[in-house]
Structure 1
Amino acid sequence: MIEQEGADWIPAGADISRPSAARIYDFLLGGAHNLAADRAVAQQLEAIQPQVATVARRNRAFLRRVVRFMLEQGVRQFLDLGSGIPTVGNVHEVAQDVDREAKVVYVDYEPVAVAHSLMLLKGNSHAAALEADATDTEAVLGADVTKRLLDLDKPVGLLAITLGHYLPDVSEIFKHYRDALAPGSYLALTHLTNDFAVLNDPKIAETMRQTQDHILPRTEAEVLALFDGFDLVEPGLTTSANWRPDRLAAVVDPEEDGLYAGVGVKR
């Protein structure tokens, strides 16, 4: 892959020298929208923990299952915070396969992620990408595209997949989103933790300090607290592979799974 400022998926002026979590995740998922700096960090992570790409794939599969679950509950609009770089099985693809008029707003502050999302969504009037920091809830919820696509008086599927561990004040941020959502809305999240062996290595956090996205692992109790105001649906707080797996055989030892995962419904 040739990396140059003129590549159609790299916005003009984007800093291609500094790695980002969104592009590292894309690489781990087998995507093509990542740069040399991102691949270098991803390879360092794989040297520390060879299962890191497997953890990423399980996390992505959780996202798809969650969207299908919310659709089954009647949700037809989604706000995907920290959405990253689009890959196969995006939220709008899963949702609009069930209902062509399902609405999706992707939010990310990473210019490459947003630029590629806009390319992918060209001609799709029911989905859009917003370049914004998910921590700025007023900017996200008050954006023209959000107000055009989402009706906050009706249930929304709020997706915060591998987002919380990048945010120091995540609890307050989630509360702001919760307060803006109608009863019957859902929050789905995954969150990195040191509670399980697979990602319990301080070198992982040290490696991510090379990027613009430092990680803050949290304990089970801390992750549970993020669902304040939401009632967890079965099976409660578990790990990404073990939240309503498609097959019983897909159940994974939490020690090897690495990410807490759960879904809650607003009271």
Structure 2
Amino acid sequence: MPPRARARARMYDPAKTRAAVTAQLAHVRDAVRELGDERLGARLSAAVRLEDPAPSARELTVTEWATATAAPAEPETEPDPGEPLERAAARFAELIATAPGDRLVAARGGAMRLDDFLVTRCVELIVHTDDLATATGVSIPYDRHALATASRVLADALAAKAPGGSVEVRVPPFAVVQCVEGPRHTRGTPPNVIETAPLPWIRLATGRLPWPEAVESAQVTASGERADLSPHLPVLT
């Protein structure tokens, strides 16, 4: 039997990704300004050290970054704690405006092309935006493209972590993946289906929301004897 073909890597539009990261960082900046303490936003900076020499470490894909992350949604670089978020956001926007997309930057576990690294910043910013909103009660907008990107990155990481075709995971309207070893579904209604909205999915995938709580509170619907993701969560470990 011939080996199964490797899944094609998902493509992300670089211009839309840069716009999404910039927009979400602006939403965080505005929320932090409302709270009156920019230190709260220091770790939410999408800082990237473009001034440093390109690293010589092994180059990672987006999915490799997600499945190799050592701690749930933790930034690779610490911004200067004395630098206001307003200034950090402006410096970031200036840096990425002209930086080439194939420029290598340091990432946890290796190096990444800037365009791919910015995809991971969508994940970081969405997760930390949700953390900040939960901790402070402040309503913070989610950029739609950043939310879509984070949902897709984490869905693809799940499929890479638990390869197979027995379970279909749906995160409408952004992502659908098949995963988990077992009988592969080919036509008709899948026998094992899991469906959830983007934010609950992101919370599940990053360890913010336990699987039993998500099912019990109806934030997730799961049908079929194999429709249980608890052995494979969180995705970011």
Q: After TM superposition, is the score higher than 0.5?
A: no
Higher strand share: 1
The structure that has the greater radius of gyration is 2
What's the TM-score, normalizing by structure 1? 0.26
